[in-house]
Amino acid sequence: MKAYSDMGRDELLTLKAGLEEKFKTEEAKGLSLNMARGKPGASQLALSMPMLDVINSKSDMTTLLGNDTRNYGDWDGIGECRRLLADMMGVRKDNVIVCGNSSLNIMYDTVVRSMVSGVNGSTPWGKLDKVKFLCPVPGYDRHFKITELFGIEMVNIPLHDDGPDMDLVEEYVNNDAAVKGIWCVPKYSNPTGISYSDEVVRRFANLKPKAEDFRIYWDNAYCIHHIYDDVQDEILNILEECERAGNPDMVYMFASTSKISFPGSGVSAVATSLKNVEDIRKHMNVQIIGHDKINQLRHARFFKDIDGLKAHMKKHSDLLRPKFEAVLNILEEELAGLGIGSWIKPRGGYFISFEAMSGCAKSIVAKCKQLGLVLTDAGATYPYGKDPADSNIRIAPSFPTPEEMAEATRMFVLCVKLASIEKLLEE
């Protein structure tokens, strides 16, 4: 295919006229498709329906230790559920606190505790003149919303194929006491799908923070969320690496079953050092008597162990893979060689990250909306919703059917071509 940048003005105008006719045809269909968020599809949700039959009014509601899940107690989670999530996260059970259905809720609470009470006895962030967070970009919009809400200054850190720009991370963390944290999605990152290399994880563990209360917010949301059976990413265990480096308290790891069982009714957990666990415990003992232990028991009995979790995720991957491949195949067929976009083929996670020509993302998203195709807002993958290059677009293939994804991708490609030609003609 001939690159658009190699075409003359008349050639581009002729191509544009043909694409505009196609656009009118698509617009007349009045379609409504949503690829904005990483919601599991109905067929994925159906996989966990038998979990609702695991416990009923005749069930034994006691844990393996004999505690009654209907009553108070086990504030940090029932033992068998802590074991299940510890094995999923690859950490020791003693380092795990099981909470409610949302890991994002735990992250929010962790920032709030730091703002109000400080971290392990340090000065509360709310009493400091300036607090900064490092934000690998493109990244997860909901992370950025938390720190933005509390007026924390967010600093963009470029995300490479092997993880964040660690030269820049080290420069900030090791020399600026105002830098208190960094957001990380280390495995099948949201939205790029990349996983951190061993070198990157080790460099994180060996940071020498200027601030004693600096913490790595390690959102391991996709720790067992592979798309392929034969090619799967593995990353080093950050808790073990931090212990080895003499920085045992430097990381909070978060995870949940939101995209394993039910997004609205799963279980979540934080894993961290025993010292950090005690610091969290002081606040949780006041904040809550205990999370939903019946739901924790339901999950533990349904999945049984890490092998049960992995077998369940194999079913998810079988459903997700055709959707991802529908998108990737059409992007390759329609856009390869045109020089108007690039993308990464992820091996896991929930998203495909598309890099349009600079200055085109907002236009592409707006055109898609005209056709009834809803995408994540352009800029959402950057702090404050401001993508400096206006180029990144997050595609979420999970919710529509494979057939709908193919149709949506062809519409997306049409909008990419039109927006790119318009940009080139402007120049």
Q: What is the pLDDT of residues 368-382, one digit of tens each?
A: 999 999 999 999 999
- Any residues with CB less than 8 A from the CB of 309 and at least 6 apart, and which? 84, 87, 88, 224, 260, 303
- Per-residue confidence (pLDDT) for residue 18, from 0 to 100: 97
Per-residue pLDDT averaged across 353-376, rounded?
A: 97
Sign of the Cα pseudo-torsion (203, 205, 210, 216, in order): positive
99: buried, middle or exposed (CB in 10 Å: 19+, 13-18, 0-12)? buried
Q: Is residue 290 over pLDDT 90? A: no
Query: What is the predicted pLDDT for the residue at 421?
Result: 98
Domains of the chain, CATH where assigned: 4-44+311-426 (3.90.1150.10), 61-304 (3.40.640.10)
- pLDDT grade, residue 322 (50/70/90)? very high
Is residue 37 over pLDDT 90?
no
Alpha helices in 92-189 (DSSP H): 103-117, 141-149, 166-175
Which residues does residue 253 pair with via DSSP β-bridges, in sequence order?
218, 271
Whether the pLDDT of residue 1 is over 80: the answer is no
Mean pLDDT in residue range 341-362: 97
* pLDDT tens-digit readout, 149-161: 999 999 999 999 9
Q: Is the pLDDT of residue 204 over 90?
A: yes
Q: Span 185-214, mean pLDDT?
A: 98
Question: Band of the pLDDT at 93, cuts 50, 70, 90?
Answer: very high
What is the mean pLDDT of the segment spanning 187-215?
Answer: 98
**pLDDT value, residue 276:** 97
- For residue range 219-255, list pLDDT tens digits in order: 999 999 999 999 999 999 999 999 999 999 999 999 9
Q: pLDDT tens for residues 307-319?
A: 999 999 999 999 9
Question: Residue 34: which pLDDT band, with cuts at 50, 70 and 90?
Answer: confident
Question: How sure is the predictor about 64, in pLDDT bands with cuts at 50, 70 and 90?
Answer: very high
Quote the pLDDT of residue 174: 98
pLDDT at 251: 98
Residue 289's pLDDT is what? 85
Q: With 80 as the cut, is the pLDDT of residue 96 above it?
A: yes
pLDDT for 304 = 98
Say what percent of the chain tops pLDDT 70. Answer: 100
The answer to whether 119 touches 279, Cβ cutoff 8 Å, is yes
Q: Which residues of 368-388 are buried (b: 16+ CB within 10 A; e: fewer)?
A: beebbbbbbbbbbbbbeeebe
Across 360-373, average pLDDT: 97
* Angle 297-264-288 from CA coordinates, rounded to 5°: 60
**pLDDT of 216:** 98
* Angle at which helices 402-426 and 9-28 cross, to 10°: 140
Work out the percent of the chain whose per-residue pLDDT is above 90: 95
- Give pLDDT tens digits for 98-136: 999 999 999 999 999 999 999 999 999 999 999 999 999
